[in-house]
Amino acid sequence: MKILVTGGCGYIGSHTCVELLNENYEVVIIDNLSNSKEDVVNRIEQITNKKVKFYEGNVQDETLLKRIFEENKIDGVIHFAGYKAVGESVKKPLMYYENNLESTITLLRIMNDFDCKNIVFSSSATVYGVQESPKYVETMTRKETSSPYGTTKSMIEKIMEDLYYSDPTWTISLLRYFNPVGAHSSGLIGENPNGIPNNLMPYILKVAIGELPELTIFGNDYETPDGTCIRDYIHVVDLAKGHLCAITHALDNKGKLHTYNLGSGHGVSVKEIVDTFERVNNLKLNYKFGARREGDLPEFFADPSLALEELGWKTEQSIEDMCRDAYNFIIKETEK
Ligand code: NAD
Ligand code: UD1
């Protein structure tokens, strides 16, 4: 079986390629390297000892997409390609709507033309918006999101749902990720954003290696046990395995629209992440408590029972594993 992975050189895409190759899927990547490096392809091959077919280009490029489908008999697509920086999307909404929506619509159109109607999409817990309960279940309705980035995810979910209702021979899996962190245990692939990171773990890593002076914990006056925000962190390898389960299930259960939460089901506070990071890596992080960050919710976590029931998937790796693997990756990166 051959899977096209859009954005396969990125953080989650690269880990997913590894899991697919380990299960003997053939992998074709399209990535325009706007937020990744071509060397990731070599690293995926190094970890798995398998070959990957790589096309450098934009998913909005219809001609290139057609060529990929002509040159490869694609059985299914996992669609990661898109921009993902929340703050940047507030400043440059058109750039986000254009890239995330246009690439998805072009991709769906070409898939339809080639009668390849099986897609797994990278959605996000951000589509839940603010709910009555912090435990998010797939049956909750999508609410207003807090950024244009989040809105692109909501809109794409809706586009894919409408597509399915118009033609139920499509198989569509919407995967709502909670907070992916960590890296492959080899230390060869992981997340190392350029500039000042917005997300917690990349920021912690930059402080740990001395690239940034200090972490600010955004708020310690929330109504949570230690006053800091609670999230559902998921090891990126567990998340990648979730994609493997989703595409395998989709290939066996055609003509369905699925929506799954991919999270651990456990809420962990920012302070607990910081404490665990210090303990497992045997270091001290320079941090202080600061003001709340606008738009942050005090607490949310996944109800992951549907993914367990239907895909047989659940997370296996602990917060300790996430902290250890993330640090191992960044140390290896900085040694280069
Ligand atoms: P990433 O930026 O590391 O990977 C995305 C990849 O897509 C990059 O390699 C980039 O070069 C590529 N890309 C972007 N636009 C493209 C285009 N038009 N054509 C071809 N390639 C393009 O991001 P990630 O963390 O791996 O996230 C993957 C997907 O998961 C994204 O859609 C993101 O929105 C979604 N997601 C991520 C998180 C997270 O916390 N990382 C959470 C929820 C959802
Ligand atoms: C954010 C996005 C969300 C996106 C997700 C993954 C917002 C409002 N939400 O979620 O749409 O899907 O990233 O990319 O931006 N924190 C600190 N100090 C820091 C950084 C973060 O204390 O320097 C705290 C935050 O307040 C939060 C927690 O760490 O409580 C996690 O933050 P982050 O990694 O940015 O993820 P989310 O805010 O959950």
Q: What is the mean pLDDT of residues 274-303?
A: 97
Residue nearest to atom 19 of ligand 1 (CA): 58
**DSSP calls for 304-332:** -HHHHHHH-------HHHHHHHHHHHHHH
113-127: pLDDT as tens digits: 999 999 999 999 999
Mean pLDDT over residues 173-182, rounded?
98
Please answer whether residues 129 and 151 qualify as being in contact, where contact means their C-beta atoms are separated by less than 8 angstroms.
no
Say what the pLDDT of residue 237 is.
98
Say if ligand 2 is within 6 A of residue 200 CB.
yes
| Pocket lining: 208 vs ligand 2, CB cutoff 6 Å | no
Average pLDDT rounded to a whole number, residues 39-65: 98
Percentage with pLDDT > 70 across the chain:
100
Rounded to the nearest whole angstrom, what is the distance from the C-alpha of residue 225 to the centroid of ligand 1?
33
- Average pLDDT of every residue of the chain: 97
The ligand with the least distance to the CA atom of 156 is 1
- Ligand 2 pocket check for 198: Cβ under 6 Å: yes
Question: Is 149 noted as a catalytic residue in this protein?
Answer: yes
Banded model confidence at residue 94, pLDDT cuts 50, 70, 90: very high
- Residue 78, exposed/middle/buried by CB under 10 A (0-12, 13-18, 19+)? buried
pLDDT digits (tens, 9 = 90+) for 244-288: 999 999 999 999 999 999 999 999 999 999 999 999 999 999 999
> Does this model's pTM top 0.85?
yes
Torsion region of 195: left, alpha or beta (phi above 0 gives left; psi -120 to 50 gives alpha): left
How long a stretch of residues is the chain?
Answer: 336
Q: Which ligand is nearest to the CA of 294?
A: 2
Reported confidence tier of residue 151, pLDDT bands at 50, 70, 90: very high
Q: Is the pLDDT of residue 44 over 80?
A: yes
Q: Which atom of ligand 1 is nearest to the CA of 177?
A: 43
Q: Tell me if 58 CB under 6 Å of ligand 1.
A: yes
- The pLDDT score that the predictor gives to residue 183 is 98
Q: List the structure tokens of 231.
A: 């999230």
